């Protein structure tokens, strides 16, 4: 594979090249990982898209929202990429965005690029692949990247580490309960959007929104928020109502964060976070090498036989591994 050529075509915004590049970063093969790293390094680094993380449990209207929101933005001349982080790989019946009929209009829009979620692997792997896919879309010149995830807790944290803005999408609640939304998720949300504020559901949506607005006011104020944020608002994705307000609100928040240095601070913090994740991953990968397995078996045997305690054996194991690496 000609990585230099692929990088150039991605940088020109060629969709097929972008799709191929994402397939490459999603691969777990060692040679592909090397090529992926070279590809990412060869891409322009001076482009920034607005990255919006969007979370919500199945059925709240994520795809309907993304389609309406995306169409509104492509209509305004913006280029929009949609990616998914799907931690529940074992989920049957198709992963999020896996179903081609979802976002039918947006997927045919030349201003949009939609990538279904990768189907395998554990959360950490999904996080890395998604982050690299985001970097590819950014290098390809997209203005906006929507990163969708199903609300299961851990995936939101991963998505918030690659997003500039985090939106939690909810549906109107039947009662007065706060829908079991975990505090941790409330704390990373910049915007809570209560969908389906139309027809018979309108009143319930307004109530739910007021409940969340109240709950948000009880949270500790974060340094990255201007007065009045995080905010709760209602929309109807189906009727295209309130989406412009959501976009304007995001714009207000982004402008404030840029002016006050929080935008850059978040981005550099995220870059460090992902670098450290890579280091961790690489260190763990060392344990999977043949030599490490051999030594693990050897020292494991000694511990099992009672010749050596675990802590001392671990120390000796690491020293041997280090020595071997140095002599290679
Ligand atoms: P997802 O699973 O979160 O992606 O949810 P979908 O976008 O597939 O929507 C789930 C259901 O809610 C579908 O039947 C949609 O038609 C419906 N829905 C989505 N948005 C709205 C809305 O704004 N108002 C109403 N009344 N229904 C909606």
Whether 267 is covered by a domain: the verdict is no
Residue nearest to atom 22 of ligand 1 (CA): 196
Query: What lines the ligand 1 site, CB under 6 Å?
Result: 56, 58-64, 195-196, 198-199, 201, 236-238
Q: Is residue 86 in some structural domain?
A: yes
91: tokens are: 């989920």
- Is residue 271 in some structural domain? no
Of 58, 69, 145, nearest to 94 (Cα)?
Answer: 58
* 31 plus 106 within the same structural domain: no
Q: Which of 57, 59, 152, 194 to mutate to test the pocket of ligand 1 (most atoms within 8 A of CB)?
A: 59
> For the chain, percent helix, then strand, then coil, each to nearest 5?
55, 10, 35
Closest-lying ligand 1 atom to the alpha carbon of residue 58: 2
Return the SS3 of 194. Answer: strand
> Is 101 found in the same domain as 21?
no
Domain membership of residue 265 (yes or no) is no
195 CA distance to ligand 1 middle (Å)? 8
Q: What is the pLDDT of residue 57?
A: 84
Q: Classify residue 158: in a domain, yes or no.
A: yes
Q: Are 88 and 152 in contact (CB under 8 A)?
A: yes
| In a shared domain, residues 124 and 199 | yes
> Measured in angstroms, how far is the CA atom of residue 62 from the centroid of ligand 1?
7
30 and 176 assigned to the same domain:
no
**Do 149 and 298 share a domain, yes or no?**
no
CA-CA distance, 66 to 57, in Å (whole number)?
A: 14
Question: Which residue segment(s) compose the domain that 250 sits in?
Answer: 47-260
Q: Is residue 276 part of a domain?
A: no
pLDDT of residue 84: 81
Which atom in ligand 1 lies closest to the alpha carbon of residue 60? Answer: 3
Give residue 179's pLDDT: 58
- Give the model's pLDDT for residue 103: 85
- Ligand 1 atom 5 nearest Cα: 61
Choose which residue among 55, 61, 236 to substitute to test ligand 1 binding: the one with the highest number of ligand atoms within 8 A of its C-beta. 61
Q: In CATH, what number is assigned to the domain containing residue 21?
A: 1.20.5.170
Whole-prediction pTM value?
Answer: 0.88
**Residue-wise DSSP of 42-110:** HS-SS--PEEEEEEE-TTS-HHHHHHHHHHHHHHTT--EEEEEE---TT-SS--TTTSTTTTHHHHT-T
Residue the block writes with tokens 């993380």? 53
If asked whether residues 1 and 112 sit together in one domain, one would say no
Position 266 scores a pLDDT of: 95
Examine the domain organization and report whether 6 and 66 are in the same domain: no
Nearest CA to ligand 1 atom 26: 196
Q: Check which CATH number belongs to the domain holding 145 and give it.
A: 3.40.50.300
Let me know whether 99 and 32 are in one domain: no
Q: pLDDT truncated to tens, each residue of the chain (328 aa)?
A: 899 999 999 999 999 999 999 999 988 888 998 999 999 999 998 999 999 999 988 889 999 999 999 999 999 999 999 998 765 544 444 445 555 457 889 989 999 999 876 655 444 556 778 889 999 999 999 999 999 987 666 778 888 889 999 999 999 986 555 656 777 788 899 999 999 999 999 999 999 999 999 989 988 889 999 999 999 999 999 999 999 999 999 999 999 999 999 999 999 999 999 899 889 988 998 898 999 999 999 999 999 999 999 999 999 999 999 998 888 7
Same domain, 37 and 53: no
Distance 278 CA to ligand 1 centre (A): 37
| Total structural domains within the chain | 3
């Amino acid at each position: 594979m000609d990585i230099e050529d692929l990088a150039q075509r991605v940088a020109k915004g060629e969709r097929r090249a972008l799709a191929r590049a994402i397939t490459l970063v999603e691969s777990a093969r060692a040679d592909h990982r090397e090529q992926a790293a070279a590809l990412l390094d060869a891409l322009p680094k001076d482009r920034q898209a607005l990255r919006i993380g969007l979370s919500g449990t199945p059925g709240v209207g994520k795809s309907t929202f993304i389609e309406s929101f995306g169409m509104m933005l492509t209509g305004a001349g913006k280029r929009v990429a949609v990616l998914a982080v799907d931690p529940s790989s074992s989920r049957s019946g198709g992963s999020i965005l896996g179903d081609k009929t979802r976002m039918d209009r947006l997927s045919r829009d030349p201003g949009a690029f939609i990538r279904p979620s990768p189907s395998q692997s554990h959360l950490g792997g999904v996080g890395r692949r998604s982050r690299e896919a985001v970097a590819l879309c950014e290098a390809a010149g997209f203005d906006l990247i929507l990163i969708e995830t199903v609300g299961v807790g851990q995936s939101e944290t991963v998505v918030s580490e690659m997003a500039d803005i985090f939106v939690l999408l909810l549906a109107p609640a039947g009662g007065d309960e706060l829908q079991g939304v975990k505090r941790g998720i409330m704390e990373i949300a910049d915007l809570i959007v209560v969908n389906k504020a139309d027809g018979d559901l309108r009143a319930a949506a307004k109530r739910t929104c007021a409940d969340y607005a109240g709950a948000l006011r009880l949270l500790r104020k974060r340094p990255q928020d201007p007065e009045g944020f995080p905010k709760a608002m209602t929309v109807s994705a189906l009727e295209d109502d309130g989406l412009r307000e959501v976009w304007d609100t995001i714009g207000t928040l982004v402008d404030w964060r840029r002016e006050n240095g929080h935008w850059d601070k978040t981005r550099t913090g995220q870059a460090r976070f992902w670098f450290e994740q890579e280091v961790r991953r690489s260190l763990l990968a060392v344990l999977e090498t043949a030599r490490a397995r051999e030594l693990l078996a050897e020292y494991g045997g000694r511990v099992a036989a009672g010749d050596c305690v675990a802590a001392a054996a671990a120390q000796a194991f690491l020293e041997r591994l280090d020595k071997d690496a140095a002599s290679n």
